[in-house]
């Protein structure tokens, strides 16, 4: 361990100031490129109608206004179903779906990573192969299953398809195999811990960076998902569906559409900011120290 740290310190000491500056400029340029769509969405939502369709188009707004947000909230007040109902639907589906997916993916990954049962290698191979399939390929089969199970027009119609995503299972399994030695599990068994106790109190704290990262992706996917393939009842529709219907009024509602896009981006960004800090902290402190 001392040799590793000394080698890392030597690499850091030998880096020239010019090299550090180049790395900093590259990272700064990449960060600006990644922030550009978000900044552009905010700028578009603050433009009045005459600037939205000005030619040649300008990136920055000349006369910023909050009129687009005012129109958006005025339109939400005239809906047949209260707007708070749509907000509740989105929050419930996103939070409940994320929590269930983290639990299901973690428990399945624990079984595949450390379980010794017939067909374990086959199941692992199926998970890897499932990563090749996109959601559009499975849309018809998912609809048939939900229809046969009488789950259309229910929250389960949006949550259950999300639970079948193989990416989280693959990520958790890989992280468990790399971060948790079998000696840790054996020590827990010697101390009298059962399977579920070992999973919940030993494994889950160690793989905290993995499931925090998974929270970011899962919440963003569920929050931005329209769910209009399986939900037809107005009182069960989620926020993206309703805001897209409100903003789909042609050129006259271009500013409202930009404001709706900004509103939909806020919750995933807040979740990302909260989880990212914990991911960095846990990745810096997790692991086994010999």
Can you list the domains of the chain with their CATH numbers?
Answer: 68-285 (1.10.3720.10)
Is the pLDDT assigned to residue 93 strictly greater than 90? yes
Confidence of residue 79 (pLDDT cuts 50, 70, 90): confident
Which CA distances in Å does 189 have to 135, 202, 205? 40, 11, 17
Note the pLDDT of residue 4. Answer: 42
Note the pLDDT of residue 141. Answer: 87
Q: What integer is the mean pLDDT of 199-219?
A: 89
Round to whole Å and give the CA distance between 283 and 280.
5
How many residues would you count in the chain? 290
What are the DSSP calls for 162-198, one per residue? HHT-HHHHHHHHHHHHHH--HHHHHHHHHTT--HHHH
Round to whole Å and give the CA distance between 223 and 217.
10
Round to whole Å and give the CA distance between 263 and 240.
10
**For the chain, what is the largest distance between any 2 Cα atoms, rounded to a whole number of angstroms?**
73
Confidence of residue 9 (pLDDT cuts 50, 70, 90): very low
pLDDT in tens, 230-281: 888 888 888 888 888 877 766 777 888 888 888 888 898 888 888 877 766 5
The SS3 of residue 150 is coil
pLDDT in tens, 137-195: 888 888 899 899 989 899 998 899 888 888 889 989 988 888 888 888 888 888 888 88
Round to whole Å and give the CA distance between 222 and 238.
10
Burial class (CB in 10 A: 0-12, 13-18, 19+), 152: middle
Is the pLDDT assigned to residue 98 strictly greater than 90? yes
């Amino acid at each position: 361990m001392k040799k590793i740290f000394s080698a890392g310190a030597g690499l850091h000491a030998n880096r020239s100031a010019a090299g550090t500056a180049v790395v900093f400029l590259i990272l700064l340029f990449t960060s600006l490129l990644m922030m550009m769509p978000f900044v552009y969405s905010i700028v578009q939502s603050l433009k009045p109608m005459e600037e939205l369709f000005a030619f040649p188009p300008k990136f920055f707004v000349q006369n910023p206004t909050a009129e687009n947000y005012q129109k958006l909230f005025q339109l939400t007040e005239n809906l047949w179903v209260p707007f708070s109902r749509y907000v509740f639907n989105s929050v419930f589906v996103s939070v409940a779906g994320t929590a269930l997916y983290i639990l299901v993916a973690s428990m399945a990954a624990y079984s595949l990573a450390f379980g010794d049962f017939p067909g374990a290698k086959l199941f692992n191979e199926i998970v890897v192969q499932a990563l090749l399939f996109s959601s559009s390929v499975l849309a018809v089969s998912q609809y048939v299953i939900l229809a046969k199970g009488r789950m259309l027009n229910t929250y389960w119609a949006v949550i259950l398809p999300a639970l079948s995503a193989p990416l989280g299972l693959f990520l958790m399994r890989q992280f468990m195999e790399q971060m948790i030695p079998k000696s840790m599990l054996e020590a827990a068994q010697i101390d009298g811990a059962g399977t579920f106790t070992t999973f919940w109190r030993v494994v889950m704290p160690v793989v905290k960076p993995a499931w925090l990262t998974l929270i970011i992706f899962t919440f963003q996917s569920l929050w931005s998902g329209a769910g209009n393939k399986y939900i037809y009842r107005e009182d069960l529709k989620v926020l993206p569906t309703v805001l897209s219907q409100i903003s789909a009024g042609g050129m006259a509602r271009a500013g409202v559409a930009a404001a709706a896009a900004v509103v939909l981006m806020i919750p995933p960004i807040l979740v990302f900011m909260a989880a990212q800090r914990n991911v960095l902290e846990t990745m810096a402190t997790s692991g086994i120290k010999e």
